Chain A
Amino acid sequence: MASMDQSAVLEARRLYNARLALKADKTRAVWFPIAVLAVLLALPLLQLTSSNYNYVLHLVLYTASYVVMASGWNILGGFAGYISLGHNVFFAIGGYFAGMIYARYGVSTIILAPLAGLVAAVVGYVIGRITLKVRGPSFIISSLALVMIFRILFDNWDFVGGAAGVSLPAIDLPVKWAKVPYYYAFVVMAAVTVYATYRIKHSKFGLGLRAISKDEIKAESAGIDTRFYKTLAFAMSAFFVGMAGAVWGEYLTYIRPNIFLIILVSVNMVLMCILGGKGTIAGPVIGAILIVAFNEACVIFFGGSEINILATGLVMALALMFFPLGIIGSLARSGRLPRILNWD
C-alpha cells in the first residue's frame, strides 16, 4: 500500500517536471543554434567560387577556438564560481603535447586533440586538487602564480625548444584549402563544447557546481562532495581548453611560450565569459564573437597591440562595473532575452 502511494507521488512529480520542461522548451528556439552550425559547416563552399575567403574562414575559426576556450573556462568560472586567470596553462599543455607528437611522428593534431585534452585534464585535476583548497582572491592569485611558474618551465625546457619553441610542418594543401581542415576542427569542437556545457549545466553535477558557487559551506552540508565536484569541474574545463590548444599550434605552424603563455589569452577567456554572461550557455559564444570582432577592429583602426591591451582593459573594467551579469545575464534578468539566444 505504502509503495503504491509512493509511486503515485513519483508519477505526479514526473508529470509536473515534464510540464515544466515543456514550458521551458517553449521559451527556447532549438532550431537557431542548429541553423547557425549548418551555415558555418557550409561556409567553406565559398572557396569554390573564384575569390578567396581565407580571411572570413580565419575569423570564424579564431572565434570558434575562443568559443571552445571560453565555454570550457565557464565550467569552472561560471558554474562553480572559481575565477581562474591561469587557464592559458592548459592551452599551452594541449598545444605542446599535440604539437610535439605532430613534429616527431607526423600524427595530425586534429586526431590528437581529444588526447591532448585528456592530458590537460589530468594536469588540471592534479593542480585543482592543490589550488582549489582556497577560494576567492587567493584562488585568482594562485592561478596567476601558476602561469608564471609554467612560463619559466616552458622557457627553459630544452626538449620543447625553450623560449624559441618548435616550428611545425605546414599542411600540404593549396592555399585556398589550407585552412579548411582546421576550420572544421574548430567549428566542430565549438559545437561539441557548447553542447557539453549545456548537458553539464542540466545534470546533477551542474546543479552541484551552481550550489558551490552560491554557498560552498551550505552545498557541503547538503551532501555534495564539493572537493570532488570542483576538482572535476577544473579538469573538465582544462580538457576543452587543452583541446583548443592542440589544434591551434598546428594551425599557426609553430609552438612557442609567448603564443600560449601570455596573459592576454586567459584574459580573453575571462572577459568573454563576463561580457557575454558568466554561467550561461550562450554567454561565452556571444562574448567570443564580440571580443574577436572588437580585437579585429582595434587592429584595423589603431594597428598597435598596446592599444589593444588598453582597449581590452577598458572593456573589462566597464563590463565589470556596469554589466556584472553580462549581456545574456542582464537580458534574462529583465525578461528581455530573445528566444533565439536562450540556450540554457
Chain B
Amino acid sequence: MAHTLQILILGLALGGVFALMGAGLSLVFGVMRIVNLAHPVMIIGGAYVAYWGFRLWGVDPLVTLPIAAVILAAVGVILYKVVFEKEAKAATYSEMTVLLTFAVAMIIEGALGTAFSNTQRVTSPDYATDAIFIGDIFIPTGQLYAGIVSLVIISGLALFLKYSRFGYAIRATTQNRDAASLLGVNVNLVSMVSFAIGVGLAGAAGALVSFVFSFFPAKHWEWIAILMSLVVLGGMGSILGTVVAAFLLSVIAAFVGAYVGATWSTMTFFLALFLILIVRPQGLFGDKPELA
C-alpha cells in the first residue's frame, strides 16, 4: 500500500512539471494552429538560462524563472515576426508550420550545442537532492517545489485567460479566428502575444526542468513526443486537458516504470501518443478533431 502510494506521489510530482511544459504548447496550438515542435528545445533554452545563473552567480533557479520566461518570450516575439507572421496566410499552413517549427528546433538545438556542447547538465540547489519524509513515504523536495510552482503559474494563466480583457480576446481567437477578427479583435496581435506567452512558459518550465532532470541540447527530441502526447491526449488547445493528461500519463508512466522496468516508462508516453492520434485524435477534452 505504502509502495503504491509512493509511486503515485512520484508520478504526480513529475506530472506537475510536465503540465507546465505542455501548457505553452497547448496555448500556441489553440490560438495559432501551430504545432510548435520547437517548444521542447525552447524549454532547454530556459534551462540553460537557469543553469548559467546558478553556476555563475549562484542564483536560485526559482529566482531566475521569471528572467528565463522573459528572455524566451522575447525570442518568441522575434520568431513570430520573422517566421510565422508571413506563413499564417499560406494555404498549406498547418502542415508547413510543423516542418518550419521542426527546422527552428534544429537551428536552436545546433546553436545551443555549439555554444554549450552536448554534455549533461543539471542545476543543484540544496533542495533539488533533498526529500521530505512522511512515515515511510518520501517526497523529493525538488519535484515538489517544481510541481507547486508550475501549478501556481498555470493557475495564473487560467485566471488571466478567464478574467482579463486580453484573455477574452485570446479565447475568442481560439474559438473562431474569423469571427473574433470581425468583432474587432486584433487577431495578429493576439497571435503574437499568445505565441510569446507560450514560449515564455517554455522558458519558465525550463528553469524548473533544470533541477528536476539532467538536460543537454539533443534531449528535446525525446520531449517532443512526451509533450505532444500530453497535448494531444488533453485535446489540442485545451490547457485544462493538458494538465489533466500530464498527471494521468505521468502516474501511469510511474507505475509502468516501477512494475515493468524503467526503460518502458517513457514508452508509455510514445505509445499513448500513437494510440490517441489513431483512436481519438480530438483527445479527452477536444470537441472536434482539430488536428485530423
- Interchain CB contact under 8 A, B292 and A316: no
Q: How large is the interface on B (under 10, 10 to 19, 20 to 34, 35 or more residues)?
A: 35 or more
Q: Are B291 and A149 in contact (CB under 8 A)?
A: no
Contact B274 A142, beta carbon cutoff 8 Å = yes
User: Known contacts being A140-B98, A152-B263, is A310 close to B292, with CB within 8 Å?
Assistant: no
The reply to whether B110 and A306 contact each other, CB–CB distance below 8 Å, is yes
8 Å CB contact of B291 from A137, A146, A156: A137
Q: A136, B270: Cβ atoms under 8 Å?
A: no
B114 at interface, CB cutoff 8 A: yes
> Would A310 and B111 count as touching, CB distance under 8 A?
yes
Contact present for B107 and A137 (CB under 8 Å): no
Q: How many residues of A contact B (CB 8 A)?
A: 40
Q: Which one of B5-13, B173-181, B221-229 is at the A interface?
A: B221-229
Contact A309 B110, CB 8 Å, known A134-B292, A144-B224, A316-B99 = yes
Bound state CA distance, A316 and B225, in angstroms? 21
Distance between Cα atoms of A97 and B214 in the complex (Å): 35
Distance in angstroms between the alpha carbons of A308 and B118 in the assembled complex = 14
Quote the shortest CB–CB distance from B263 to chain A (angstroms): 5
Residue from the list B106, B270, B277 in contact with A149, Cβ < 8 A: B270
* Residue A4 CB within 8 A of the other chain: no
Contact A316 to B228, CB < 8 A, known contacts A140-B95, A148-B222, A321-B83? no
Q: How far is the CB of B35 from chain A (nearest CB, A)?
A: 5
A327 contacts partner chain B, Cβ-Cβ < 8 Å: no
Bound form: Cα–Cα A137–B281 in Å: 11
Q: At the interface, is chain A mostly helix, strand, loop or mixed?
A: helix
Task: Judge whether B106 and A267 touch: CB under 8 Å.
Answer: yes
Given contacts A145-B277, A152-B267, contact A135 B292 (CB under 8 A): yes
- B 118-136 contacts with A by CB, 8 A: 118
Residue of A nearest to B229 (CB): A145
A317:B292 contact, CB within 8 angstroms: no
Question: Please, what's the 1-or-0 string for A140-171, where 1 marks a CB less than 8 Å from any CB in chain B?
Answer: 11101110110010011000000000000000
A145 CA to B35 CA, complexed, in Å: 14
B87 touches A321 (CB 8 A): yes
Q: Mark B81-97, 1 if CB is under 8 A from A, else 0.
A: 00100110010101110
Contact A134–B228 (Cβ < 8 Å): no
Known A-B contacts A141-B232, A309-B106; the reply to A136 vs B95 at CB < 8 A is yes
Q: CA–CA, A159 to B220, complex, Å? A: 29
- Report how far A320 CA is from B273 CA in the complex, Å: 27
One of A142, A146, A274, A314 near B107 (C-beta < 8 A) = A314
- In the complex, A311→B277 CA distance in Å? 32
B270 contacts A142, CB within 8 Å?
no
Inter-chain CA distance A20–B107, complex, in Å, is 46
CB <8 Å contact, B228 and A141: yes
Once the chains are docked, how many angstroms separate the CA of A156 from the CA of B263? 8
CB distance from A343 to the nearest CB of B (A): 24
Q: Is the CB of B118 within 8 A of A306?
A: yes
Known A-B contacts A140-B98, A152-B270, A306-B114; A263 and B221 likewise in contact (beta carbons under 8 Å): yes
Q: Determine the chain B residues whose CB is within 8 A of the CB of A311 once the complex forms.
A: 110
How far, in angstroms, from A310 to B273 measured CA to CA in the complex?
28
| Residues of A with C-beta under 8 A to B113 | 306, 309-310
User: CA of A153 to CA of B99 in the docked complex: distance in angstroms?
Assistant: 26
- B20 contacts the other chain (CB 8 A): no
Answer whether residue A237 sits at the interface, using C-beta atoms and an 8 A cutoff.
no
Cβ-based interface call for B278 (8 A): yes
A21 within 8 A of partner (CB): no
Determine the chain B residues whose CB is within 8 A of the CB of A324 once the complex forms: 90, 92, 96
**A130 at the B interface (CB under 8 A):** yes
Please pick, from B100, B222, B232, B278, the residue contacting A321 in the complex, using a CB distance under 8 A.
B100
Cβ of B190 under 8 Å from chain A? no
A270: CB under 8 A from chain B?
Answer: yes
Min CB distance, A61 to chain B, in Å?
Answer: 25
Q: Is B103 an interface residue (CB 8 A)?
A: yes
Whether the Cβ atoms of B110 and A149 lie closer than 8 Å is: no
A130 to B103, alpha carbons, bound, how many Å? 27
- Cβ 8 A contact of B278, one of A133, A270, A317: A133
What are the residues of chain B within 8 A of A317 when measuring CB–CB? 83, 100, 103-104, 107
Contact of B96 among A142, A155, A312, A320 (CB under 8 A): A320
Residues of B contacting A145 in the complex (Cβ-Cβ under 8 angstroms): 225, 228-229, 270, 273-274, 277
Residues of A within 8 A of B (CB): 83, 85, 130-131, 133-138, 140-142, 144-146, 148-149, 152, 155-156, 263, 267, 270, 274, 304, 306-314, 316-317, 320-321, 324
Shortest beta-carbon contacts, A-B, top 7: A310-B110, A313-B106, A306-B113, A309-B110, A316-B103, A313-B107, A317-B103
**Can you show 7 pairs from A to B with CB atoms below 8 A apart?**
A137-B291, A140-B99, A142-B274, A152-B266, A306-B113, A309-B109, A321-B83
